[in-house]
Amino acid sequence: MTTDSLMNDHADRLAPFFHPALFYATEDEYLDGVGGFVRGALDEGQDVLVAVPGARLKLLKEFFDGEHERVMWVDMTDAGRNPGRILSMLQEFADRPGRDARPVSIVGEPIWVGRTPAESWEATRHEALINLAFEGRGLSILCPYDTALPEEVLAQAYRTHPVVGDSAAYRASARYTDPREVCRDCDVPLPEPRDAVVLAFGREDLARVRDEADHWATAAGLSPERRTDWLLAIGEATSNSVRHGGGQGRLRLWRADGELVAEISDRGRLADPLTGRRRPDPYAPTGGRGVWIMHQLCDLVEIRSSAQGLVLRLHMSVK
C-alpha cells in the first residue's frame, strides 16, 4: 500500500502550501495516489474536497465505500467545465465559514483526456494561479494527471506544480516556473474566426448590443436558458469595456463546432491575473464581479491581456 509511502512525505504535507501533481496511468495507480491522499487527510481529521471527472469520482466513491461525511464530492466535468471557475470553488471550500482551524485538503483534476487545447491552456493557467491564490496558506491540493494526456499538457504540469510525483513518491519539480510567467505563456495566439458578426459599441450602444446578441443567439439555436447566461455574460463584458476598457469596444459573434463564441475586445487590461477567481461581494461594483460571473455562466472563457488591450472569448455550447 503506497499510502504509507505518501505519508512518508509527512513533512511536505505539513508545509505551508502543498500542491503536487500526481501522474497516473492505471486505475490502481489512481486509487493508490489519490485514494491514499484522501485517506491520509481524513485520518488527520481534515475536510476534503474531491473535484475530479465523473468516472474517477465513481471510482473513488466506491473506494471509500460510499459517501464520507467529511468529503465533498464534485464532478469536475460539470463544476470545472470552464477552468476559470475552478479556483473560486477551491477558495470557497478553503474559506467556508464555520470551518475549524484544521487545514483542508483538495483533490482537483482540471484536465482530462478529451479537453480541447483551448480548455487545456486555460486549465494550465488555473493551475498556475492556484500557486498565487494559496501562497503561504496551510492546505494541500493534489492534482492528478492522466499520463495519456498530450505531452505538452503534461509538460506544463511540471511548470505549474512545485512538487510532482506518482503513487510512490513526490519530489520537487525542477521545472516549476513563476505563475505569472506561466500565465503569459498561456496567452497563445487565438485563431481568427472565419465568419464573425462584428458590432462596435460605446456607452450608448450597450442596449442595442444586448438585443442583437440575443437575436443572433436565438437564430443560432441557443436554448432560452442558456441564452440568459449568454446575455448576462456579454452584458458584463461589454459594460466592463465601457467602464474600464477605454469607453468602447468591439463584439464579435460566431459559431464554431457546436458552440457559440462571443469575443469582446477593448483597450483595457487585466492587471491582476486573479481577477474574477474568487466569489465576489455581490454588492461591490469592483473586485472582479463581472469576470467572476462570466466564468460561472460560460463553458469556457479565454482571456488575453496585453499592451494592446484585453480580449475575452466567451464560449457557450449549443448542444
Partner 1 sequence: MPGAAVPAEREPGTGHHSSVVFADDQEWAAHLCAFVRDGLARDEEIKYFADTTDPGRVLRTLGDAGIDAVAAERRGQLSVSTAAQTYLAGTGFDPDAMIGLWYDAVEESAARGYAGLRAIGEMSWGARDIPGADRLLEYELRIHQEVFERLPLTAWCFYDRRLLPDDRVDVLVGAHPANRGGPVGRPVLRVTPLTDRPGLRLSGSAGYDTREAVAAAAAAVRGMPTARVELDLAGLRHLDTASLATLAAAVADRPAGPPLGVRHAPPPLRRLLDLFPEFGSAVEVLDR
| Contact flag: residue 235 with partner 1 (CB under 8 A) | yes
Among 61, 243, 252, 267, binds partner 1 (CB under 8 A): 243
Is 80 a binder of partner 1 (CB under 8 A)?
no
Long-range contacts: 90-96, Cβ < 8 Å, 24+?
Answer: 90/49, 90/51, 90/130, 90/133, 90/134, 90/141, 91/133, 91/134, 91/277, 91/278, 91/279, 92/279, 93/47, 93/49, 94/134, 94/137, 94/139
CA distance 121 to 153: 8
299 binds partner 1 (CB under 8 A): no
CB atoms within 10 A of CB 184: 14
Q: Which three cell numbers stand for residue 275?
A: 481577477
Total of residues contacting partner 1 (CB under 8 A): 26
Q: How far is 250 from 254, CA to CA, in rounded Å? A: 13
Give yes or no for residue 236 binding partner 1 (CB under 8 A). yes
Q: Which of 32, 109, 166, 229 binds partner 1 (CB under 8 A)?
A: 229
Which one of residues 114, 189, 191, 282 is an interface residue with partner 1 (CB under 8 A)? 282
Distance CA 35, CA 3 (A): 8
Between 107 and 242, CB nearer to partner 1? 242
Identify whether the C-beta of residue 42 lies closer than 8 Å to the C-beta of residue 35. no
Contacting residue, 102, 203, 215, 269, with partner 1 by CB under 8 A: 203
* Binding letters toward partner 1, positions 133-172, x by CB under 8 A: ----------------------------------------
Asked if residues 260 and 318 have their Cβ atoms less than 8 Å apart, the reply is yes
| Minimum separation from the CB atom of position 268 to partner 1 (A) | 14
Decide if 2 contacts 122 (C-beta within 8 A).
Answer: no
What is the pattern of x (binds partner 1, CB under 8 A) and - over residues 26-65?
----------------------------------------
Give the interface with partner 1 as residue ranges (CB under 8 A): 203-204, 206-207, 210-211, 214, 224-225, 228-229, 231-232, 235-236, 239, 242-243, 282-283, 285, 289-290, 293, 296-297
